Amino acid sequence: MIKIGIMSFAHLHAEAYIQNIRSIPGVEWIGFVDPDSDRVKQFSEQFRTWGTSDFDEFFAKKPDGVVICSENNNHLSMVETAIAAGVKNICCEKPLATTLEDAEKIVSLTESKKINLMTAFPMRFSAPIVAVKDQLDRGVYGKIYCFRSENEGQMPSLHRKWFVDKKLAGGGALQDHLVHLTDLFRWITKSEVDSVYAQSSQCFHRGEVDVETAGMAMLHFKNDCFATIDCSWSRPDYYPTWGGLNFEVVTDRGAVQVDAFRQNLSVYRHDIQNQVWHYWGSDSNQGMIEEFAASIREERPACITATDGLRAVEVVQAAYESAASGQTVKL
């Protein structure tokens, strides 16, 4: 039986991951640790599970793997703590770090200690995206020219206030949403980004926070593909869901549109003013956590690595540099 727990419930995705872990045969959910005692009380009661603020008490349960869901700027310290406690398998929320230096430290540490670290990029397990990638790999659509994409959402302070704290989150919309599509396009094209041009602003929620709430980036890849990414927090508070991710890939045979969150039903109720969505589709989080568990069971690296997380951080940091200078930044 594989034992998996969560380190910190700061990130809202922890609320999904606990259910994902519990549903995998042959995996034992051991509980969670969080330095915030208020979160321990809240989430241990909400999910009827064991939680503690004592890291020694948590590691005494001897987890085979942990999922890190702390604030972005605490990822490095959480990784270091887990490794010092003897944990060999770690799944870490994205972005891997808030600075390039921290991301490089995580990669160096996990490689030197032979740690299996998986960066949490669940969109690689989205059924629509997997299906299109398979067709692209088989040459069904021909040569890829470019991508036009969006990863928009509500301002995440609605769910966790630390997301708009520059110190804890590392930034705003660019930091929060640029990494998913960057990783997907690296994965699909099998090529690395060689330059980034970006612009950012506070055209949404102006003056409410001290981070950017809108962003647009253009990525150029070494194989001459390019991509535009709208990563803005442009959805209003009453939008049916917290976010979304879609893209159009243009090839020499036409264009293919992909929407990772289209598998839902639109519901209108007399007692709720706004439309709501009931999602019926595949669960990309479940696929990701099952891959993490499989990598532990099979004693192999997960299919998404710490280096994948580092490459996305490189693009985000280049985007901030470009937005500040107004110039294209070479990687």
What are the extents of the domains in the chain? 2-122+286-304, 126-282+312-330
Q: What is the mean pLDDT of residues 261-280?
A: 72
Question: What pLDDT is recorded for position 96?
Answer: 98
Question: What pLDDT is recorded for position 153?
Answer: 87
Question: What pLDDT is recorded for position 187?
Answer: 98
Secondary structure (3-state) at 264: strand
Q: What is the mean pLDDT of residues 23-48?
A: 97
**What's the mean pLDDT when you consider all of the chain?**
94
- Interval 68-89: pLDDT, tens: 999 999 999 999 999 999 999 9
Q: What is the mean pLDDT of residues 156-171?
A: 91
Secondary structure (3-state) at 187: helix
Question: What pLDDT is recorded for position 156?
Answer: 86
Q: What is the mean pLDDT of residues 159-174?
A: 94
Where do we find the tokens 């809202």? 12
Residue 282: pLDDT over 90: no
Question: What pLDDT is recorded for position 238?
Answer: 79
Q: What is the mean pLDDT of residues 156-175?
A: 92
Q: What is the mean pLDDT of residues 6-25?
A: 97
Q: Name the burial class of residue 289, with classes exposed (0-12), middle (13-18) and buried (19+) by CB atoms within 10 angstroms of its CB.
A: buried
* Chain center to CA of 242: 14
Give backbone dihedrals phi and psi of 322, rounded to 5 degrees, phi first: -65, -45
Question: What pLDDT is recorded for position 268?
Answer: 76
- For residue 272, what pLDDT band results from cuts at 50, 70 and 90? low
Where do we find the tokens 């009453």? 238
Residue 218: pLDDT over 90: yes
Please tell me which residue, 270 or 300, carries the higher pLDDT value.
Answer: 300
Contacts for 210-214: CB closer than 8 Å, 24+ residues apart = 210/164, 210/166, 211/164, 211/166, 211/169, 211/171, 211/172, 211/173, 211/175, 212/171, 212/172, 212/173, 212/174, 212/323, 213/155, 213/172, 213/173, 214/173
Q: What is the CATH number of domain 2-122+286-304?
A: 3.40.50.720
Query: What is the C-alpha to C-alpha distance for residues 110 and 113, in angstroms, rounded to an integer?
Result: 5
Q: What is the mean pLDDT of residues 103-118?
A: 98
Residue 309: pLDDT over 70: yes
Q: What is the mean pLDDT of residues 99-127?
A: 97
Question: What pLDDT is recorded for position 47?
Answer: 97
Alpha helical stretches, state H, the chain? 14-22, 37-46, 55-59, 75-84, 100-112, 127-137, 166-169, 173-189, 284-297, 306-325
Using the 8-state DSSP alphabet, how is residue 267 labeled?
E
Percent of the chain with pLDDT over 70: 97
Question: What pLDDT is recorded for position 242?
Answer: 67
- Interval 203-216: pLDDT, tens: 998 888 999 999 99
Residue 237: pLDDT over 90: no
Secondary structure E strands in 141-253:
144-150, 193-201, 214-221, 226-230, 246-251
Whole-model pTM: value is 0.94
Residue 279: pLDDT over 90: no
Q: What is the mean pLDDT of residues 98-121?
A: 98
CATH class of 126-282+312-330: alpha beta
